[in-house]
Structure 1
Amino acid sequence: MLFGSIEARDDEVTCAVGDGQINIKDKIEIPLTTPEQTLKSIVEYFKNFNEVKAIGVSSFGPIELRTYSPKYGYIIDTSRKGWSNFNLLGTLQNYLHVPMSFTTDVNSAAYGEYIDSILQDNPVLSLAYITFGKGVGAGIIDNGEFIGYNGSPEIGHIIPKRHPDDLVFKGVCPYQGDCLEGLVSEPAIQARMGKSYKEISMFDPVWDIVAYYIAQATIQATLITRPKKIILGGKIINEVEIKKVRAQFEKLFNGYIDVGNLENYIQMPSHSNRKLAIIGNLSLAKKKFYTEETFND
């Protein structure tokens, strides 16, 4: 018996299959072009695996996650040409005819962290997974379930306290300006510095400012959801930056709640985002299959 994974992100789609023990057996990267061409390639890939019993699907957003909505499974408004108001889940189900789970790309990676901790015999039953890249996304797991009835958490749009050396920059979020995403995302750093984050030395003071804002997000996640662990991922997070975040967290939080050793509490992902998303989607597919099988019985 096999299960499948489909993760759509930035400019490509990762498709994979794995067994019931969540061992990845095969995977492929497909360019994200038009919906028609991309979906054709996805369907052709899965036609090679007749034993796939269910598929976990995760996607860039915004997507409709409310199962009671007539647009459940849709990609809503997106800057990606041709993908706005596209029925991703329904189209896949129409061609592949297997049960499918559906969630955000960040949620699938968060679930992958949760499942991987169980597979490693070190279960983390409650965690917050926050990614920092072109945007800021979050997936939060509590006792093995996603937090968020009407959608996934939008921690990227909290309004952090401004750094005293960063009172002029207005932020880049088209909705709120200086929300977390408007201050620390890749486009925000580009707007601040006039160059890509890749070109900026880790000794530049801007990374202390970014860490100050990210630390506030980890504090809010700590106070609201009380997770066992917070995972920070995405392209702007590295070993140097996460140390800065821990230092800011310690200073700003001032020991209000004991979260233990900060190196254990605030960590980078255990695997690449792609691998975690596959692990998460395969596990969600397996859960979907057995849930529907039990219900149908």
Structure 2
Amino acid sequence: MAGARFGGVELGGTKALALISDGATILDQCRLPTTAPDRLLPPLAAWLAARHAEHPLASLGIASFGPLRLDPAAADFGHMLPTPKPGWSDADIRGGLAGWFDGPVALDTDVNGAALAEGQWGAARGCAVHAYLTIGTGLGGGIVVNGAPLHGLLHPELGHVRVSRPAGASFKGICPFHGDCLEGLIAGPALAARTGLPGEALPPDHPVWAEVCDELADLLATLLLTVSAQRILIGGGVGLALGSRMKRLRAAVADRLGGYLPGIDASSLETIIMPPALGDRAGPLGAIALAKRVFTAETFG
């Protein structure tokens, strides 16, 4: 793999990034706002094709917001599934970005990619099972098991898990599908609707943070109980804004667990529930981690 260059695309809800890397080092990049697919995908593909003509790429990784069809046997493989983002339902993500390329291509969610990158270069190194959550415009989650992003019926949709709420809770949530799923309660637009302030701008002493910690704790405890995550990393604008409230969050998770998992308490959770190490590089490096993984699989079996 020495000397190989990899192409990647991080396709986010507000911005998109195409990049060239030789591993953890980003050599070149092109950033565009996320507009309509027919206006965004062609210039990203053209930029990558031009870089490929200058120096051939070993493989290409695409880390996109979802939901995505990831089953290669499905007729709509590589397409965006129904989404509230205008114009993106049924968009051909894989074909639109990689139709020009005849080498190995990997497509996955942006959060699965970021989880993979944190396992390779970041805060989840050495973990057999770990999860990456990003809380910003939406709430997404990726899970990696033994070096592979988790797929099944679809891919993890952790933001749409329903959580327990106190009787008489007044905020109904804003998710167009579920109302008060976790994304509809604590993602940036939900917090803005709930408080009148963007989540990233909420003061540290705002009372809504206590509610956010209690609601998020339900999901984190569920991850510990279901997939036995050894590390759960929380990023994104809202996730990183938790900051000093991580102590309360860990205490709330320990409370949900009720002492059931041996040795797991608020103190030990400090080494399990953490911020990501790669920061804003987790997303783009997630695309590269996907590219490296598919190149290794197809080259070395």
TM normalised by structure 2 equals 0.88
Counterpart in 1 of 2:232?
Answer: 230
| Aligned match of 1:12 | 15
Residues 1:105 and 2:107 are matched in the alignment: no
Q: Tell me how far apart the structure 2 counterparts of residues 3 and 153 of structure 1 sit (CA, whole Å).
A: 26
Deviations along 1:239-264, one digit per CA (max 9) or x if unpaired, are 12323211211233232213372211
Residue 19 of structure 2 contacts residue 284 of structure 2 at CA under 8 Å; is this kept in 1? yes
Task: Kindly provide the amino acid, as one letter, of the partner of residue 253 in structure 1.
Answer: L
**Aligned residues: CA RMSD:** 2.1
Secondary structure of the residue aligned to 1:75 is coil
From 201, 204, 210, the counterpart of 2:203: 201
**Paired position in structure 2 for 1:139:** 142
AA matched with 2:32 = I
Residue 285 (structure 2) pairs with residue 271 (structure 1): no
State how far apart, in whole Å, the 2-side matches of 1:207 and 1:95 are.
Answer: 47
Percent pairwise identity = 30
Deviations 1:225-284 (A, max 9, x none): 0011111112112312323211211233232213372211100111224x1123232222
CA distance in 2, matches of 1:241, 1:11: 27
Kindly provide the CA deviation profile for residues 98-136 of structure 1, in whole angstroms up to 9, marking residues without a partner as x.
Answer: 321000111111111111149x9x522210111212222
Q: Number of paired residues?
A: 290
Match of 1:263, as an amino acid?
E
1:93-172 to 2 correspondences below 5 Å:
93-117=98-122, 122-163=125-166, 167-172=169-174
SS at match of 2:73: coil
For residues 139-165 of structure 1, what are the alpha-carbon distances to aligned partners after superposition, in whole Å with 9 as ceiling and x for unaligned? 01111122231221122222211136x
**1:214-229 equivalences in 2 (<5 Å):** 214-229=216-231
Describe the shift of the 1:223–1:32 C-alpha distance in structure 2 as closer, same or farther (beyond 3 A). Answer: same
Per mean C-alpha deviation after superposition, the further-off stretch among 243-252 and 210-219 is 243-252
Indicate the residue corresponding to 2:33 in structure 1.
31
Q: 3-state SS of the aligned residue for 1:248?
A: helix
**Could you tell me which residue of structure 2 aligns to residue 251 of structure 1?**
255
Residue 213 of structure 1: CA displacement? Answer: 0.6
Is this contact kept in 2: 1:65–1:150, CA < 8 A? Answer: no
Which amino acid is the alignment partner of residue 226 of structure 1? S
The answer as to whether partners of 2:131 and 2:143 remain within 8 angstroms in 1 is yes
CA-to-aligned-CA distance 1:17-48 (integer Å, 9 cap, x gap): 111x4432222212222323322321232212
Give the partner amino acid of 1:16. Answer: L
Q: Supply the distance in 2 between the matched residues of 1:290 and 1:197 (Cα, whole angstroms).
A: 40
Q: Equivalents in 1 of 2:51, 2:198: separation in Å? A: 40
Which residues of structure 1 form unaligned runs of 5+? none
Structure 2 spans left out of the alignment, 5+ residues: none
CA–CA distance in structure 1, aligned partners of residues 174 and 32 of structure 2: 30
Q: Aligned in 2, Cα 1:169/1:35: closer, same or farther, shift over 3 Å?
A: closer
Give the stretch that moved more between structures: 142-151 or 78-87.
78-87
Is the partner of 1:101 in helix, strand or coil?
strand
Partner residue in 2 for 1:284:
290
Which of structure 1's runs of 4+ aligned residues deviate more than 4 A?
none
- After superposition, give the CA deviation of every residue in 1:41-100 in whole Å (9 maximum; x if it has no partner): 212322123321211001111211122211111112234443221111022232233321
Q: Equivalents in 2 of 1:135, 1:37: separation in Å?
A: 23
